[in-house]
Amino acid sequence: MDAVELIGAALSAWAVWLTARRRPWCWPVGFASVMVYSWIFIDAKLYSDALLQGAFAVLIVYGWMRWLKHLGSDGRVQIAALPPGQFVVHLMLGIAGALALGYAMHRWTDAALPWLDAALTAFSLVAQWWQGRRHLAAWWLWIVVDVIYVGEYVYKDLLITAVLYAGFVVLAAIGLRDWRRVSQSAPGAHPVAG
């Protein structure tokens, strides 16, 4: 599994790097990475993570189509503000999703870490939704989620993936810095939670 995990890690890192650079090719590269990671997570009995990959596949198609409609003259996606009301609603949906999925995984599967895995899955979906909608706040949420994922993957002995997610924290910080710089230089841009 180490070779497959290494391929998935390389594809995932490339996709996040492209996202931080606001390049729309992040989406098809990300799609390839979620296909690889679906298999890895099923093998590790991290079923919420496996389901997350399927949801990511759907959100990747959505994000790619949305980004292609909002490219600047430089071929990079334009950043959009996140209204405060949506920020709160999306976080509440993340909490509800975490509780529902955690209960289901705890009750009906042999999931290794049902509650933690479900919470990370739910908030990853929120972050992915925000990313597709071009919100700066996505990077903040990715940083928090990815730090916790590092611990989960170390615990599950998925060391390549743990290193990958530590790299994601760094890439998310770079994405946050770069997207913040662009959003502050855009006329009239005031992204919420960024």
Examine the pLDDT at 160 and tell me if it is beyond 60: yes
The answer as to whether 71 is a domain residue is yes
* Residues with Cβ within 8 Å of residue 183, at least 6 apart in sequence: 79, 136, 189, 191, 194
Residue 43 identity? D
Lowest-confidence region among 45-49, 117-121, 133-137, 157-161 = 45-49
Place of tokens 């790299």: 167
pTM as predicted: 0.87
* Residues with Cβ within 8 Å of residue 172, at least 6 apart in sequence: 16, 20, 139, 142, 143, 146
The answer as to whether 193 is a domain residue is no
C-alpha 22/C-alpha 70 separation (Å) is 11
How high does pLDDT run on average in the chain?
Answer: 91
Give the mean pLDDT of 153-171: 91
Burial class (CB in 10 A: 0-12, 13-18, 19+), 189: middle
Q: Note down the domain range covering 181.
A: 2-185
The answer as to whether 190 is a domain residue is no
Examine the pLDDT at 63 and tell me if it is beyond 50: yes
- Residue 187: the pLDDT is 60
The answer as to whether 62 is a domain residue is yes
Looking at the structure of the chain, the number of domains it has is 1
C-alpha 68/C-alpha 57 separation (Å) is 17
The answer as to whether 142 is a domain residue is yes
The answer as to whether 77 is a domain residue is yes
Residue 175's region, left for phi above 0, alpha for psi from -120 to 50, else beta, is alpha
**Residue that wins the pLDDT comparison between 186 and 16:** 16
* Listed residue (163, 127, 159) closest to 144, CA to CA: 127
